[in-house]
Amino acid sequence: MLACPNCGLALAAADRALRCGSGHGFDLARQGYVSLLTGTATRFTGDTADMLLARSDFHARGHFAPVAAAVATAAAPPGGNGVLLEIGAGNGYFLGAALDAAPETRGIALDIAKPAVRRAARAHPRAAAVLADVWRGLPLRPAVLDTVLTVFAPRNPAEVARVLAPEGRFVVATPTERHLGELIGPLGLVRVDPGKERKLAAALTADFSALGTELVEYPMALTRDDAALLVHMGPSAFHAGEDTAARLAALPDLLAVTASVRIGTYAPRRAA
């Protein structure tokens, strides 16, 4: 179901590479992913190795496990078997949780960052990892996927609609304004745009109809060390200034921080 990024023909596996009928070839990297990124370097560089390391450490502590469980339930293909793509999959934590919950399902982790797909390639035995830029189009054949998932990541609605089967589902998890709210002021984190939900609805409406949303909200008990990982794994890592260490040191040993994530499920509108 993967498509050649040059000509759109189906790719077939051959000798540690993927090849299309026109002769374009893409080698499997030693670390287990395939790069379907073509052309010149993109301005969307994605997350860094340090961010991925912080993210994996934070996930391993289980603070987002309730979010992962809800995402897994929402993303499970209806028949229990099928193919699930996560866009901007990072280390593949949420895709892995979704695949654990759906034993007949196979997964594809797509990300623009090499450190991400290296980790995602090892996230789950039923997951493949693809290096690609969602804004350049998804390297997939039309109507082949049962579920597309994005968690805290960019999405390209028209492309998602193209690659989803008619009965497929698009599952979008986004932070609400309350997510990590207790840390935003003290640590100078990037604030969630209060208009985010409205903008998401507007961006999806041409291609999708909303089936429902679920709010996952709970208090996390975070240590100062947990908070440091959150700073370094997220968008604030790009802005972390010299005062970040001082701000972290000023936090109490243990603090209650809200996790607040909205999970929306959408169905593709049928082409008229």
Ligand X SMILES: C[S@@+](CC[C@H](N)C(=O)[O-])C[C@H]1O[C@@H](n2cnc3c(N)ncnc32)[C@H](O)[C@@H]1O
> Interface with ligand X by CB under 6 A: which residues?
44, 46-47, 55, 88-90, 93-94, 111-113, 116, 133-135, 151-154
How many residues in the shown chain lie near Zn ion by CB under 5 A? 6
Per CB under 5 A, 109 contacts Zn ion: no
Q: Determine the Cα angle at 177 with ends 63 and 197, to 5°.
A: 110
**Least separation, in Å, of the C-beta of 135 and ligand X?**
5
Dihedral sign from CA coordinates of 61, 188, 110, 79: positive
Integer Cα distance of 42 and 74 in angstroms: 32
Residue 162, binding choice from Zn ion, ligand X, none, Cβ under 5 to 8 Å by partner class: none
* 112 or 144: CB nearest ligand X: 112
Out of 1, 10, 19, 24, which residue is the one contacting Zn ion (CB under 5 A)? 24
Per CB under 5 A, 11 contacts Zn ion: no
* 40 or 272: CB nearest ligand X: 40
* Cβ-based neighbour number of residue 235 at 10 Å: 12
Q: Closest Cα to residue 207, out of 170, 175, 174?
A: 170
CB 109 within 8 A of CB 89: yes
* Encoded tokens for 91: 């280390």
Per CB under 5 A, 6 contacts Zn ion: yes
* 94 or 266: CB nearest ligand X: 94
CB 164 within 8 A of CB 82: no
Integer Cα distance of 247 and 41 in angstroms: 35
Per CB under 5 A, 42 contacts Zn ion: no
Residue 238, binding choice from Zn ion, ligand X, none, Cβ under 5 to 8 Å by partner class: none
Dihedral sign from CA coordinates of 156, 161, 162, 167: positive
Residue 93, binding choice from ligand X, Zn ion, none, Cβ under 5 to 8 Å by partner class: ligand X
CB 189 within 8 A of CB 241: no
Out of 13, 22, 190, 215, which residue is the one contacting Zn ion (CB under 5 A)? 22
* 111 or 207: CB nearest ligand X: 111
Phi and psi of 197, rounded to 5°?
Answer: -65, -40
* 153 or 171: CB nearest ligand X: 153
Largest Cα–Cα distance of the chain, in whole Å? 61
Per CB under 5 A, 4 contacts Zn ion: yes
Strand 127-131 relative to strand 12-13: parallel, antiparallel, unpaired?
unpaired
**Least separation, in Å, of the C-beta of 91 and ligand X?**
6
* 11 or 129: CB nearest ligand X: 129
Binding positions for Zn ion, rule: CB under 5 A: 4, 6-7, 20, 22, 24
